[in-house]
Amino acid sequence: MNKSGHSRSDVAQEQEHHSIRRVRAWYGLPAEIVIEGDYWHWVKVGSVPVPHPPLINLIVRRGLPREERLALSYRHEFGHVQTLPFALLHMTALWFLWAKSRFGASWPRAARLLAAFVVHEATWELMAEGYVALRTGRRYLRIHRRKRAFLAPAVVWGTFAVMAWWGLAPALGTRRRAPLKPAERSTP
pTM over 0.85: no
- The alpha helices in 54-108, defined as continuous H runs, are 55-60, 66-82, 84-100
Question: How confident is the model over 122-152, as pLDDT tens digits?
Answer: 899 999 999 999 999 999 888 887 776 677 7
- Of residues 35 and 11, more confidently modeled: 35
In a domain, 19, yes or no: no
In a domain, 74, yes or no: yes
Position 184 scores a pLDDT of 55
Report whether 123 contacts 153 (CB < 8 A). Answer: no
In a domain, 161, yes or no: yes
In a domain, 179, yes or no: no
CA 66 to chain centre: 21
Report whether 76 contacts 38 (CB < 8 A). Answer: no
Q: Is 108 helix (H, G, I), strand (E, B) or coil?
A: coil
Q: Can you give the residue range of the structural domain that contains 87? A: 55-172
Question: How confident is the model over 52-62, as pLDDT tens digits?
Answer: 777 777 888 88
In a domain, 40, yes or no: no
In a domain, 93, yes or no: yes
Question: How confident is the model over 93-106, as pLDDT tens digits?
Answer: 888 777 666 666 67
Position 104 scores a pLDDT of 64
Count: domains in the chain? 1
- Of residues 54 and 77, more confidently modeled: 77
In a domain, 72, yes or no: yes
Measured distance between the N- and C-terminal CA atoms of the chain, rounded to whole angstroms: 89
Position 156 scores a pLDDT of 85
